Amino acid sequence: MAAAARGPPLSFAMMRLSFVLLLLLLLLLVQSGGGQKKKENMLAEKVEQMMEWSSRRSVIRMNGDKFRRFVKAPPRNYSVVVMFTALQPQRQCSVCRQANEEYQVLANSWRYSSAFSNKLFFTVVDYDEGADVFQQLNMNSAPTFMHFPPKGKPRRADTFDLQRIGFASEQLAKWIADRTDVQIRVFRPPNYSGTIALALLVSLVGGLLYLRRNNLEFIYNKTGWAMAALCVVFAMTSGQMWNHIRGPPYAHKNPQNGQVSYIHGSSQAQFVAESHIILLLNAAITMGMVLLNEAATSKGDVGKRRIICLVGLGLVVFFFSFLLSIFRSKYHGYPYSFLIK
Amino acid sequence: MDGLTDSGHGHFNTKHKWRTEFSGCNYVVKNDTVANHMRVVSLSSFLLRFNYRSTHHLTSNGFYEFLNWFDERAWYPLGRIVGGTVYPGLMVTAGLIHYVLNLLHMTVHIRDVCVFLAPIFSGLTAISTFLLTRELWNQGAGLLAACFIAIVPGYISRSVAGSFDNEGIAIFALQFTYYLWVKSVKTGSVFWTIGCCLSYFYMVSAWGGYVFIINLIPLHVFVLLLMQRYSRRVYIAYSTFYIVGLVLSMQIPFVGFQPIRTSEHMAAAGVFALLQAYAFLQYLKDRLTKQEFQTLFFLGVSLAAGVVFLTVIYLTYTGKFSLSLMRYLCPPPRYAKIHIPIIASVSEHQPTTWVSFFFDLHILVCTFPAGLWFCIKNINDERVFVALYAISAVYFAGVMVRLMLTLTPVVCMLSAIAFSSVFEHYLGDDQKKDSPPTEDSSDEDDKRNSGNLIVTMLMLMLLMMFAVHCTWVTSNAYSSPSVVLASYNHDGSRNILDDFREAYYWLRQNTDEHARVMSWWDYGYQIAGMANRTTLVDNNTWNNSHIALVGKAMSSNESAAYQIMQSLDVDYVLIIFGGVIGYSGDDINKFLWMVRIAEGEHPKDIRESDYFTPQGEFRVDKAGSPTLLNCLMYKMSYYRFGEMQLDFRTPPGFDRTRNAEIGNKDIKFKHLEEAFTSEHWLVRIYKVKNEGSSRTSSFLRKARS
């Protein structure tokens, strides 16, 4: 017991002693080793710091000082990939957010891959945290991806060509493999939202059917099915699938005079707004045809039927000429028009 | 010639231009007279040459020889097994017609048969569309539908004379199969079903699109089951169709065992099993009491579900059956855009904008939903079919421009139904006879008649606009033999540019019979067909690395390219150059795709970014990237072009397609020499100097050692 009671102070003293000794030794080493040792030390410290940060978050956030110290300044033995971006909501940079997501996917793939090492770090500099860095690098667009090699200055190819190849993480990984010889296999977290939505929908429909099990007449309602079929048809013929695949902007705003154009000028492309307009026009023409038929078949009084007939005819003729005029404006050299130029 | 210059696109826009119609441009392709038209078209389009060549082989060597045909002229040095890799329906049809005509001592050349095959079959398509629509609605709608399909631009593109293409006969087979299917569901007679199977067999032999039928018909049966419209007629029709159709479809060498192996045929098998089970249950229901039946039902269903589940797991596990359904459900262009540049590069594989829908279908695209509405409101067994047909076809057409072709017939039918029901009510005056002339004054009656007249007039006017549109589209966009180009001056007079034929004729007359010609793959079939020379890649090459090698040769500098060309035994290089006349479909405009495809296979040697300026532009003038200015394609295109002054207003060496003065005017070749340049410089052919002494290729030497 006595030994045990005396134990802690002794060990404390020993520790303190050894610590002081170590410090002294270090100091001596540093003084005698000179510049080379100091550099190595600094490097080790930097790597350790970077490793610590990246173990906490796969993408390291940097401000101006950190950037200069860990990315710009030598000595370094690691590559750094920097995304210059503006993520603050008031900057209204929607591309930045998309690019950021892709970048996070890439950084996470690297962080949790078996090949993870201290040879490559992913960092981000936000404009609102390091505006001086942007000025220093003469950068005036965000997002920009740059690679800082371990030795020497970044060359032209070290800036990722965003305009041309986009910012998909696969492309980024290819670029990094090209610049650093580090191969990253991009692993996207599986997207469960679609499955969950489907399951919800199925359970909702199932629940509804169960609740109304005594009255299932509505399934045999032809109008509902016809509506659903027409929705599919209208969505496809107005090019929603094109929108889905190509992802065009909603409309185009001319930066000079602020005019918003909803119709794309070329026949090879379209805006989302434009496809919605076309959808409505197609639906109106179809409705006109149905009304024309309705007017003739329904058994109401003559005046009412005449009005329905006129409305139907008007819908068909007017909206078709409108559609034709839009087509004409897009398809240069098309000679025909009807009522509306 | 002035009008030509504006057709140039200063920047890069080949993605959509490639192998698309140059409809909006000044390049309207026309021919002189009708007689000449036929001759020229038959020698025309890039793809169709191959079909003609194989048909020629079939007629001169017989059917079995054709099945065993190994074409050493294609894909040099690999060669191509033709018999087992094509759908032979088209060639056999043409060969058969030729044989019968010759038997009757009507001596026609096989080429004439090929040229007129598409128009004949479009006539048959119109007839089968009439029959199908008559089954679905009534005779009037059928006639309208036949009229629509006869002129609709979406189908005209495949049915002009000289369009000797699989799709031309396949649409007829498709419509006829559907007609016979509807007929057999209506009657439940084995006779009609066997007819349907034979028609399906013809479709399988003609086009890969038969998969659409083998999925749509099971879907129809399945939906009928869900709607509790099961009947003995459906049972007889589908069981017969599935068994006989399956056996027949497996007779085509190219299809082989696919119908029982691949997942796109599994739906048919599943529905077949389901139908048998359903029929069996129906049978039991008649024999058993309600309580017994319920127990048996639950037992049976759970057992069946378990068996199916285990089988699928087992098959997937052993890898015999891949669950590759995602490939069909997710939009292919999106998949391809990421993975395969060569698929993304073909304009036919793009999704469809509304403009293309309107361009191909005009008023029909806005009115056919009304027809669909009427069909669903007055549903019966066969209208279920047409509704499913419309919805699935419209989905596929939205995903891929090419599949507009399968949508067109159903749009014609449904539009015809919509128009016909309107005309029925407003055109005839038989209603007047029915309604008793009571308190309605004659004044009222007159008013109604005039109202009817207005409706009829306006509807006819819309249809007239449709007809005018079809004529315009057909003459401007779809009668386009890409071999002969025409340009229009300001006064409307026309210049014919016959450079392609001139160049191919030169190749045929002046080069060795076994010479190998390297060109980009668009011109492969043409060179093989018109010049009768061996090509390296053509329009059907699926060997991506082979195409990439050609792309690499085109985009490397001369000495690197020479090594590749030596290893591939190339004797001549053929390129298309439009800078003199302002033709925007030339090789420089396609060049980035060559680079991209080459980069996909050889990322260390070729980099797309090297071909851009630091600002990311693709320029051929002095500011262009040095890699571009020294690559083989650039040098071949602009060789001696710097000495040429086209206009007093422009400097020498001014490229009219890209509106720029070229950057490298001093081009000299070490390993190549200019062999031929056509009148308007559209086609340029270079000879590869043969420096090695032996003619044996390094490729063959490698193979031997």
For B567-689, list the strands marked E by DSSP. 572-576, 654-655, 660-661, 672-677, 683-688
Total tally of structural domains belonging to chain B: 2
Say which DSSP state A219 is in.
G
> If contacts are CB pairs under 8 Å, which of residues 183-212 in chain B contact chain A?
none
State both tokens at B374: 């009427």
Query: How far is CA B434 from each of CA A138, B140, B665, rounded to the nearest angstrom?
Result: 85, 21, 85
**B176 and B288 both lie in a single domain:** yes
Q: Which residues of B touch A232 (CB under 8 A)?
A: 391, 394-395
Which residue from B minimizes the CA distance to A230?
A: B369
State both tokens at A298: 């329904």
Rounded Cα gap, residues A109 and A294, in angstroms: 60
| Selection from B22, B25, B8 nearest residue B488 by Cα | B25
* pLDDT value of residue B152: 94
Q: Average pLDDT for residues A316-329, to the nearest whole number?
A: 93
Q: Which of B335, B348, B373 is the best substitution to test chain A (most A C-beta atoms within 10 A)?
A: B373
**Bridge partners of A145?**
A83
Band (B514; pLDDT cuts 50, 70, 90): confident
* pLDDT value of residue B96: 94
Which residue from A minimizes the CA distance to B361?
A: A237
Cβ-in-10-Å burial (0-12, 13-18, 19+) of B222 comes to middle
**B405 and B303 both lie in a single domain:** yes
Which residue from A minimizes the CA distance to B20?
A: A268
Band (A8; pLDDT cuts 50, 70, 90): very low
| Pairs from A63-66 (Cβ < 8 Å, separation ≥ 24) | A63/A125, A63/A129, A63/A130, A64/A129, A64/A130, A64/A131, A64/A132, A64/A133
Asked if A245 and B370 come within 8 Å (Cβ–Cβ), the reply is no
Does the pLDDT of residue B39 top 50, yes or no? no
Higher pLDDT, A207 or B316: A207
Side chain identity at residue B318, one-letter code = T
Percent of chain B, pLDDT > 70? 80
Rounded Cα gap, residues B664 and B516, in angstroms: 29
Does the pLDDT of residue A189 top 80, yes or no? no
Listed in sequence order, the DSSP H helices in B330-362 are 332-339, 341-344, 354-361
Does the pLDDT of residue B256 top 60, yes or no? yes
Within a domain: B428:
no
> In this predicted structure, which of A63-77, A183-197, B333-347, B501-515 has the lowest mean pLDDT?
B333-347
ipTM value, please give it.
0.76
| B172-215: pLDDT as tens digits | 999 999 999 999 999 999 999 999 999 999 999 998 889 899 99
Higher pLDDT, B217 or B282: B217
B351: nearest CB among A161, A168, A245: A245
Q: Closest Cα of chain B to A71: distance in Å?
A: 25
B391: nearest CB among A156, A233, A297: A233
Band (A28; pLDDT cuts 50, 70, 90): low
* pLDDT value of residue B328: 43
Distance of CA B542 to the CA centre of its chain: 16
Does the pLDDT of residue B31 top 80, yes or no? no
| B528-552: pLDDT as tens digits | 878 888 888 876 666 778 888 888 9
Q: Closest Cα of chain B to A298: distance in Å?
A: 11
Asked if B395 and A236 come within 8 Å (Cβ–Cβ), the reply is yes
Percent of chain A, pLDDT > 90? 18
Does the pLDDT of residue B33 top 60, yes or no? no
Q: Average pLDDT for residues A322-341, to the nearest whole number?
A: 88
How many residues does the structure list for chain B? 705
Within a domain: B486:
no
| B348-406: pLDDT as tens digits | 667 899 999 999 999 999 999 999 999 999 999 999 999 999 999 999 899 888 889 99
* pLDDT value of residue B198: 97
Rounded Cα gap, residues B212 and A141, in angstroms: 48
Instruction: Check if B333 contacts A (Cβ < 8 Å).
Output: yes
* pLDDT value of residue B702: 47
> If contacts are CB pairs under 8 Å, which of residues 338-397 in chain B contact chain A?
338, 351-355, 357-359, 363, 365-370, 372-374, 376-377, 379, 387, 390-391, 394-395, 397
> If contacts are CB pairs under 8 Å, which of residues 614-673 in chain B contact chain A?
614, 616
Helix (H, G, I), strand (E, B) or coil at A160: coil
Band (B13; pLDDT cuts 50, 70, 90): very low
Q: Closest Cα of chain A to B66: distance in Å?
A: 41
* pLDDT value of residue A78: 82
Band (B77; pLDDT cuts 50, 70, 90): confident
Asked if B373 and A232 come within 8 Å (Cβ–Cβ), the reply is no
Q: Which of B9, B15, B353, B421 is the best substitution to test chain A (most A C-beta atoms within 10 A)?
A: B353
Band (B695; pLDDT cuts 50, 70, 90): very low
* pLDDT value of residue A321: 93
- CB-defined contacts A:B, below 8 A: 164
Higher pLDDT, A18 or B652: B652
> Rounded to 5 degrees, what are φ and ψ at A311?
-60, -45
Q: Which residues of B touch A293 (CB under 8 A)?
A: 370, 374, 418, 421-422, 425
| A79-89: pLDDT as tens digits | 888 888 887 87
Does the pLDDT of residue B323 top 50, yes or no? no
Higher pLDDT, B112 or B241: B241
**B283 and B387 both lie in a single domain:** yes
Band (B143; pLDDT cuts 50, 70, 90): very high
**B189 and B68 both lie in a single domain:** yes
Asked if A237 and B398 come within 8 Å (Cβ–Cβ), the reply is yes
Within a domain: B478:
no
B354: nearest CB among A163, A232, A270: A270
- Which of B418, B450, B484 finishes a domain? B418
Q: Which region, left, alpha or beta, applies to residue B256 given φ > 0 means left and ψ of -120 to 50 means alpha?
A: left
- Which of B383, B418, B453 finishes a domain? B418
Within a domain: B128:
yes
Query: How far is CA B631 from each of CA B2, B9, B276, B538, B637, rounded to the nearest angstrom?
Result: 30, 22, 65, 22, 10
Asked if B366 and A323 come within 8 Å (Cβ–Cβ), the reply is yes
Asked if B24 and A241 come within 8 Å (Cβ–Cβ), the reply is no
Higher pLDDT, B118 or B77: B118
> Rounded to 5 degrees, what are φ and ψ at B353?
-85, 165
Asked if B421 and A232 come within 8 Å (Cβ–Cβ), the reply is no
Does the pLDDT of residue A68 top 60, yes or no? yes
- Domain of residue B542 covers 497-704
**Bridge partners of A82?**
A123, A146
Average confidence score pLDDT of chain B: 80
Q: Which residues of B touch A177 (CB under 8 A)?
A: none
CA angle A62, A66, A72 (to 5 degrees): 105
**B396 and B280 both lie in a single domain:** yes
Which residue from A minimizes the CA distance to B426?
A: A296
| A93-129: pLDDT as tens digits | 777 888 888 888 888 888 887 777 778 888 888 888 8
**B406 and B521 both lie in a single domain:** no
Instruction: Check if B703 contacts A (Cβ < 8 Å).
Output: no
> In this predicted structure, which of B72-86, B258-272, B672-686 has the lowest mean pLDDT?
B72-86
Q: Average pLDDT for residues A16-42, to the nearest whole number?
A: 61
| B145-154: pLDDT as tens digits | 999 999 999 8
Q: Which of B13, B15, B223, B366 is the best substitution to test chain A (most A C-beta atoms within 10 A)?
A: B366
State both tokens at B348: 């036919």
Asked if A239 and B334 come within 8 Å (Cβ–Cβ), the reply is no
Which strands sit side by side in the sheet containing A144-148, from one edge to the other? Answer: A60-62, A120-126, A79-85, A144-148
Higher pLDDT, B698 or B170: B170
Which residue from B minimizes the CA distance to A312?
A: B455
Q: Average pLDDT for residues B159-167, to the nearest whole number?
A: 81
* pLDDT value of residue B37: 32
Q: Closest Cα of chain A to B398: distance in Å?
A: 5
Q: Which residues of A touch B614 (CB under 8 A)?
A: 156
| Selection from B176, B114, B126 nearest residue B151 by Cα | B126
Does the pLDDT of residue A205 top 70, yes or no? yes
- Which of B392, B418, B444 finishes a domain? B418
Does the pLDDT of residue B271 top 50, yes or no? yes
Which residue from B minimizes the CA distance to A274?
A: B354
> If contacts are CB pairs under 8 Å, which of residues 418-447 in chain B contact chain A?
418, 421-422, 425-426, 440, 444
| B92-103: pLDDT as tens digits | 999 999 999 999
**Bridge partners of A260?**
A253
Within a domain: B51:
yes
* pLDDT value of residue B442: 55
Say which DSSP state B475 is in.
I
Helix (H, G, I), strand (E, B) or coil at A122: strand
Q: Average pLDDT for residues A312-334, to the nearest whole number?
A: 92
**B252 and B387 both lie in a single domain:** yes
Higher pLDDT, B345 or B299: B299
* pLDDT value of residue A253: 83
Higher pLDDT, B659 or B74: B659
* pLDDT value of residue B12: 28
Query: How far is CA A338 from each of CA A319, A320, A321, B153, rounded to the nearest angstrom?
Result: 10, 8, 5, 19
Within a domain: B654:
yes
Within a domain: B425:
no
Within a domain: B195:
yes
Q: Closest Cα of chain A to B4: distance in Å?
A: 15
Rounded Cα gap, residues B185 and B232, in angstroms: 9
Asked if B444 and A302 come within 8 Å (Cβ–Cβ), the reply is yes
**B53 and B151 both lie in a single domain:** yes
> In this predicted structure, which of A136-145, B300-309, B435-444, B633-642 has the lowest mean pLDDT?
B435-444
CATH code for the domain of B508: 3.40.50.12610
**B402 and B514 both lie in a single domain:** no
* pLDDT value of residue B128: 96
Rounded Cα gap, residues A237 and B369, in angstroms: 10
Instruction: Check if B398 contacts A (Cβ < 8 Å).
Output: yes
B333: nearest CB among A163, A245, A332: A245
B386: Cβ contacts below 8 Å, ≥ 6 apart: B136, B375, B410, B413, B414
Band (A16; pLDDT cuts 50, 70, 90): low
Q: Closest Cα of chain B to A192: distance in Å?
A: 16
A222: nearest CB among B331, B379, B399: B379
Asked if B352 and A239 come within 8 Å (Cβ–Cβ), the reply is yes
Does the pLDDT of residue B409 top 60, yes or no? yes
| A229-257: pLDDT as tens digits | 999 999 999 999 889 888 888 888 888 88
Percent of chain A, pLDDT > 70? 87
B353: nearest CB among A269, A317, A320: A269
